[in-house]
Amino acid sequence: MVTCAAVEGFRVEDAGGARVHRREGVGEWLRDGLADDFSGVPGDRRAPVAGRGGAHFAFESPEGRVLVRKVRRGGWLSFLGERLFSASRVFNEVRMLDAARKAGLSVPDLLGFSVRGTLIKRATVVYREIVGARTLLQDVKVGRSMISAAKAARDLHSAGILHGDLNARNILLHDGRAFLIDFDRARPCRDAGAHRRELARLFRSLAKELGTGFAPDARALLVDAYAGGPDPGLLEECERRLAGHGRWWRLLGRR
């Protein structure tokens, strides 16, 4: 069970009605910003983050450019309020990012986070921005990007981690490297079947977002790069799972 206690390497402070967790060595600007939910950052200093939605913005901090993420509830419980969120997922992300980094994976540098509220909590997370990065969805037409993304997924699974929400928007490409982001649903997992299903989820997200743009050669490229060579069985499994979801999309009137 994930508990909302102190996390190794973070300093815990109460400020502005929030419990603030600041990575050791990061300046007090972060504590002050998390305390007031960055309301002191004027709109003209806030830059939207392409492909990441309104819950994210970036600005120039005293220690470089950072990205602020207002954690939102998704799925069918969103009617309760999109910013009402179980804090345990934020603590889970911190720990799983640390595990991924120790395994040598490329992941964001999380600087700090805040949690406020009682039974149902609100959370804000701050990362060092990967300046110039593009999502896989934005960069998918470049073949080497598909290969980098597939290898990042393979390395994640080889490290015994299941991402939990692996899709084309949660893989960033920068300078030939693929960064995996949004680890709040991640968990330790050595089940090869679960890993294959997660690859199929990534496969499905590309098909859903790109439609006919996710051509057969691109599909094979993704699977082969993940498998380390041709794997017709894995490709067939991804296609079969895609077809099953396709029936639901048609039923719901989606693409």
Average pLDDT, the chain: 86
DSSP secondary structure letter of residue 231: -
CATH number of residue 144's parent domain: 1.10.510.10
pLDDT score recorded for residue 212 = 83
Number of folded domains in the chain? 2
The residue from 139, 155, 165, 224 that is catalytic is 165
**Beta pairing class for 10-15 and 121-128:** unpaired
List residues bridging with 189 in a β-sheet: none
Q: What is the pLDDT of residues 68-94, one digit of tens each?
A: 998 755 444 434 443 445 678 888 999
Q: For residue 22, what is the enclosing H or E element? A: strand 18-23
Q: Is residue 4 part of a domain?
A: no
List residues bridging with 161 in a β-sheet: 188
Q: How far is CA 149 from the centre of its chain?
A: 13
Q: Which of 128, 152, 173 is the last residue of a domain?
A: 128
44 in active site = no
Name the residue range of residue 57's domain: 10-128
Q: Is residue 148 part of a domain?
A: yes
Q: Which of 128, 158, 180 is the last residue of a domain?
A: 128
Residue type, 199: L
pLDDT over 80 at 195, yes or no = yes
Rounded to a whole number of angstroms, the distance between the first and last alpha carbons of the chain is 38
Same domain, 123 and 194: no
Same domain, 60 and 155: no
Q: Which of 74, 107, 128 is the last residue of a domain?
A: 128
Q: What is the pLDDT of residues 222-244, one digit of tens each?
A: 999 999 999 999 999 999 999 87
Taking residues 244-251, report their average pLDDT: 63
The 10 Å Cβ neighbour count of residue 105 is: 18
